[in-house]
């Protein structure tokens, strides 16, 4: 594969997953969901910002009745505790007894996903499933169950296809990896 290079702020990145391969994996995941979830009336929860592109491309290929909403993890300085607390915001649906499918851009250490699952459990859903576009198995620090994974990738910084570097490059249609000089 001829690798494309792009400079984002001070760093150089090169393509490691093409748009074509991304489309193929999303179609595979959608087909698996269409087979597994058709009678579950699930609600998809896209995690902002990074998962917006994955959620959009995947959702177009879902063929059964379902809902989607988007959530964000907001950091705030706790008044009772020291340090930063991450709170899930944007839930305005009743999740009780629902099949919830989290849509993530990437699971790296798994800490974010673990936080999300813990907070969602408080809404008493019937089950919580997870679909992630990317997964870095070597970086994982929390035990999390991933039901649908697009690509397992090495423990290197990536961007594009929704993922950013300091807010930039989310618009790139392929996945790029940091070039180490
Ligand atoms: P975790 O909590 O370490 O699993 O990280 C999850 C979040 O960190 C993702 O939702 C991304 O927003 C961000 N992240 C982790 N790895 C990368 C990367 O390689 N590139 C860009 N963002 C990343």
Active site residue 39: no
Query: Which atom of ligand 1 lies closest to the CA of 165?
Result: 21
Domains of the chain, CATH where assigned: 5-170 (3.40.50.2020)
CA of 73 to the centre of ligand 1 (A): 12
Residues at CB less than 6 angstroms from ligand 1: 50, 104-113, 157-159, 163
pTM: 0.95
Q: How far apart are CA 148 and CA 136, in angstroms?
A: 14
What CA–CA distances, in Å, run from 136 to 46, 67, 105, 133?
A: 19, 28, 11, 11
Q: How far apart are CA 134 and CA 171, in angstroms?
A: 17
pLDDT tens digits, residue range 102-156? Answer: 999 999 999 999 999 999 999 999 999 999 999 999 999 999 999 999 999 999 9
Active-site residue, from 36, 108, 147, 164: 108
Identify the band that residue 46 occupies on the pLDDT scale cut at 50, 70 and 90: very high
pLDDT tens digits, residue range 24-44? Answer: 999 999 999 999 999 999 999
Q: Strand 43-48 vs strand 67-77: parallel, antiparallel, or unpaired?
A: parallel
């Amino acid at each position: 594969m001829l690798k494309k290079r792009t400079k984002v702020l001070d760093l150089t990145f090169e393509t490691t997953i093409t748009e074509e391969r991304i489309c193929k994996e999303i179609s595979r995941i959608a087909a698996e969901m269409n087979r597994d979830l058709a009678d579950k009336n699930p609600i998809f929860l896209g995690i902002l910002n990074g998962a917006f592109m994955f959620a959009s491309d995947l959702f177009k290929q879902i063929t059964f009745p379902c809902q989607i909403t988007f959530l964000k993890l907001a950091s705030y300085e706790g008044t009772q505790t020291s340090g930063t607390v991450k709170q899930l915001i944007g839930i305005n649906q009743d999740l009780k007894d629902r099949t919830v499918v989290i849509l993530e851009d990437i699971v790296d250490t798994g800490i974010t996903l673990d936080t999300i699952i813990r907070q969602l459990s408080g809404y008493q859903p019937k089950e919580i499933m997870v679909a992630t576009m990317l997964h870095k198995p070597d970086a994982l620090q929390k035990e999390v169950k991933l039901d649908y994974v697009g690509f397992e990738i090495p423990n290197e910084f990536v961007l594009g296809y929704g993922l950013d570097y300091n807010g930039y490059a989310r618009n790139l249609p392929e996945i790029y990896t940091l070039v180490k000089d």
